[in-house]
Structure 1
């Protein structure tokens, strides 16, 4: 019996698949053509086309003879032969059609015919066989259904081997072609130690086997995008001297059952054939989701196949294969399949760089540029690292690249100011002053709205009695602008340095909500409750999300520390909604009251902002030194 599995192993590239597809199509076409040409060479030509009989009237001069075999049966045969041909034409017709043909065609047109005698039928037995036996039946069937057969064969081919050119794209990269090294992971010393430990486990398997640790060292890399997971897989392969097979998890979503499984098995066979090899599956978070969550059965099939492959094989075939699977999520912030997690003996969680590491990364990126392009005497990397909080290494590199573009366009060197502008361009996008130039009333509203956010940011510090210099030091503000930003679909913005959002306290989160409410409160302060614009929509959405977390998920206002979002009861939902509304009303009222103390100074700053479009942090605090007396605020607190 033909072994299709061995055939599948032989199909190692797209061209072989295409060749098989063309061969199949050619075979079907050849069979169909053979049945057609057979009509010209076979002694008997069969048909069920009644029009052949009616057409004999016009060909009566060429007709040698016309016989009717078994006219009283359910399926009489018309047998005719032309004078200049050795072929017999046999037309099989139903009995009812025979009666009409005999009366309306043969007799009416005087076409001579006879009833076939028994001795004639005995000498021409093939005439009465249905379509001339099995082989003739197959030929006739193929002739009539050649296109249908081609479609069926094509469908079977696609289901078994996939569409040529549409399969999982995975190239094998030899260790000498891999670039970079572990030194390129600036900082991240904790992650480097994990990798070195993993390397030791792989190199010294015999030592670990003494402790009965002999399972595959599958590696799970998790963490935010742009933190170096992909690079790390390459560094590991290079250090070990292993070839790397890299593929994307999204490419496994073939859309038909078994497609992802076949792709994974193909990856495994390709790796196993090389002995020691690393398979790096990137962007594979979908495979870690709990199985049985949806109607797409192929997703579970793909995950089940990966589970089996991660377990390794009983033979020595795949003992050198190491799976490194990367995901932007981890079990701490997303529900994952427990069976999948158990397959990974090593888990390395990437994090965003801290301030010191950001400074090292920025210095490393800038040092790669030719000498003279960076003004190191006018470069405060500590300040740049401060404003780029919560940016990944990839985004930090984007900021540096953006600084280079600005440097080229403006024919200047890269300094601190240019890095600030590059950060703004990379995070905010292009700004346009012309869009808001003629919209005086809208610009005025935008100016007041953005100033409202700023004053609610510094309000807690002023009420604590800090000096303006101390407040400036604590403030994350970079600038306030009334220029439009197409990326944000906004007519103005407040640009602030990133703030570490981990381990926020209740008090800090309430301040964040009040800062969000600062814009809409400023609009109500100057235009009244009915003068609030739709520009506050994004602020209100963010505030609602934070309040929902504080009340429902963190239970910050209840002695019962429960995650109310897990309760599906309508009563619990109504109860927490009442709490959210009450807290939102309280915080907004406090915001409106607090911002009223800044009305006069806000009105003055608004006029300056309208004139200059943009005010930097230094400019704003210089104006506050002239126009704001913080003492009454401290006394009112």
Structure 2
């Protein structure tokens, strides 16, 4: 039953004029006093709600036999939950104060705050919540002015301050043609308007990291003689709800104020993920804001704004939001440089060094370009910089050997001989393991009847080492040059798996099935991933070409697992049989490898030539 305030006041003999003298009023903002009411329900004499629709409703209540009347002030956002979850849920009777009661008791609800000790309680409340209040104040300031991170760290760069040019993109002629076409579209906007094409300005750059996407945005701005506003997609994630949207709006306004301007969002892949994928609604809000701003060329305000976004992923390699993709009329896909382009890049990077820093007569750029397959321009520059560091430390110019060691350092990190120096048994196992990898690498060529010279020409081996590598947690390794990205066949993928199995197969050959060590963990992880791709995703062993990972149900998963296990067993058995034919050669090479710790490609094949010659004479 809901009682009126006047009825309750009359029932308890509450005389407003004498209230202060008869009953001291205790003011607080402690919501726990309300949540404790159900436990003290039997003691409750009355409960009154004053100003329930205001910003700060008051709960006025008194316990039987107590002198104090409690007035608890709560935020309106908390009031609805308290009323529903505490009062109604526990059937606690209360009354709603009417206007005549509020008029008669203003002193109790307002002016009495200072006279009855509310200020000390407020002081205590502020003391308890100082950090939270400070953060709240900072957030309010951030919403109005922008906190560090809420403005995405966007910086405006004038054309005169932009460095480099399109010529700095070594090779990449296909990319340059796309950019030239884009430039022509922007400069001749009226011509494209005549074909009812009014939006050539949203540009999407995709491709591996370090291929020049960020530099290209600067080159384009400089060539068009327009300022560039650069921001990071990750910088939009301020941690505040609405922070990303606010940051984008601020960037857009800044660009509009410049007239003609390029907005470059780097590392923006998170904005292209399908919306609704998580509970983080503010991610979708940021993406929705970007969608609306990308259409800004329809208005005069944003007609001179060019949006360029960069992502390390594209719609061919990951799922992206269709609505976002449709906003980009121009998509430029970057790729890794081929061998000739790597050679040119190495030539340019080395040419920037002072005279005498590079021993050009002792630098084989073709060889270095060959071993650095699948490296981006940025990583190639890192290799050259690392070579400079080695050359400075050793007080010598850069040579092919220095570049090779720099590539090795950049690829696998520091090597250490001392870690394995006194571990003879472990070093022997490591040597056998790594030689197993090597022989399974050259096994297909030997089975074709090729000479050792021809095998050496085709082999990607660079060196075999029994030194430890802290970066990958290994006690030895086989370093090989990569191949430029190509379409692998089923046979080639199976050979990759057998090469990975070569190490563990060599251990089983010499130590037995129960003598296999944990050193093959990384190899087995790679085998599992590759077989999953071959069996489940590419359906290479089935006439029905399906991606089984998309099929739901326990039965389909069990069948896929059986197929993977079956092919793994078959390929490992083939590897073990193949490695048995090289047991004597592995035994002979093992001693030299343990003695020298490292064998280069030339040394390995020189030793093999001598061993095979001895075997042929003995036969």
TM-score normalized by the length of structure 2: 0.80
SS in 2 for 1:76: helix
1:437 is matched with which residue?
A: 421
Confirm or deny: 8 A CA contact 1:310 1:343 kept in the other structure. Answer: yes
Q: Distance in 2 between matches of 1:413 and 1:154?
A: 59
1:110 is matched with which residue?
A: none
Cα distance 1:614–1:98, how it changes in 2: closer, same or farther (>3 A)? closer
1:188 is matched with which residue?
A: 172
2:522 is matched with which residue?
A: 538
Q: Which runs of 5+ in 1 are unaligned?
A: 1-70, 80-89, 102-127, 633-637
Q: 2:273 aligns with which of 289, 295, 298?
A: 289
Q: 1:160 aligns with which of 140, 143, 149?
A: 143
Q: 1:611 aligns with which of 576, 591, 595?
A: 595
1:404 is matched with which residue?
A: 388
**Range with bigger deviation, 567-576 or 459-468:** 567-576
Deviation at 1:564, TM superposition (A): 1.1
1:261 is matched with which residue?
A: 245
1:407-486 alignment runs, 5 A limit: 407-486=391-470
1:356-401, Cα deviation, whole Å (9 max, x unpaired): 0000000000000011111111111011000000000000000000
Question: Does structure 1 residue 235 correspond to structure 2 residue 219?
Answer: yes
Q: 2:197 aligns with which of 213, 233, 236?
A: 213
1:312 is matched with which residue?
A: 296
1:60 is matched with which residue?
A: none
Larger radius of gyration between Structure 1 and Structure 2: 1
1:426-454, Cα deviation, whole Å (9 max, x unpaired): 11111100000000000000000000000
2:356 is matched with which residue?
A: 372
SS in 1 for 2:582: helix
Q: Distance in 2 between matches of 1:96 and 1:364?
A: 87
Deviation at 1:255, TM superposition (A): 2.7
1:115-130 alignment runs, 5 A limit: 130=105
SS in 1 for 2:296: coil
Q: 1:560 aligns with which of 525, 536, 544?
A: 544
Confirm or deny: 8 A CA contact 1:432 1:485 kept in the other structure. Answer: yes
Cα distance 1:510–1:162, how it changes in 2: closer, same or farther (>3 A)? farther
1:244-302, Cα deviation, whole Å (9 max, x unpaired): 11111011122332111111111101111111111110111011111111111111111
**Range with bigger deviation, 314-323 or 424-433:** 314-323
Q: Distance in 2 between matches of 1:264 and 1:193?
A: 30
Deviation at 1:73, TM superposition (A): 2.0
Deviation at 1:315, TM superposition (A): 3.0
Question: Does structure 1 residue 573 correspond to structure 2 residue 557?
Answer: yes
Q: Distance in 2 between matches of 1:142 and 1:72?
A: 22
Confirm or deny: 8 A CA contact 1:310 1:323 kept in the other structure. Answer: yes
Deviation at 1:562, TM superposition (A): 1.2
Confirm or deny: 8 A CA contact 2:297 2:305 kept in the other structure. Answer: no
Confirm or deny: 8 A CA contact 2:149 2:236 kept in the other structure. Answer: no
Cα distance 1:252–1:631, how it changes in 2: closer, same or farther (>3 A)? farther
Q: Distance in 2 between matches of 1:439 and 1:131?
A: 87
Q: Distance in 2 between matches of 1:584 and 1:472?
A: 29
1:276 is matched with which residue?
A: 260
Confirm or deny: 8 A CA contact 1:162 1:259 kept in the other structure. Answer: no
Deviation at 1:555, TM superposition (A): 1.0
**Range with bigger deviation, 222-231 or 552-561:** 552-561
2:611 is matched with which residue?
A: 627
Deviation at 1:215, TM superposition (A): 2.1
1:300-323, Cα deviation, whole Å (9 max, x unpaired): 111111111011154311111111
Confirm or deny: 8 A CA contact 2:234 2:267 kept in the other structure. Answer: yes
Q: Distance in 2 between matches of 1:379 and 1:97?
A: 97
**Range with bigger deviation, 581-590 or 397-406:** 581-590
1:476-515 alignment runs, 5 A limit: 476-515=460-499
Q: Distance in 1 between matches of 2:158 and 2:365?
A: 37
1:214-256, Cα deviation, whole Å (9 max, x unpaired): 1251010000000000000000010011111111101112233
Deviation at 1:624, TM superposition (A): 0.5
Cα distance 1:248–1:599, how it changes in 2: closer, same or farther (>3 A)? same
1:575-590 alignment runs, 5 A limit: 575-590=559-574
Q: CA RMSD in A?
A: 2.8
Cα distance 1:134–1:573, how it changes in 2: closer, same or farther (>3 A)? closer
Deviation at 1:134, TM superposition (A): 9.3
**Count of aligned positions:** 527
Confirm or deny: 8 A CA contact 2:16 2:104 kept in the other structure. Answer: no
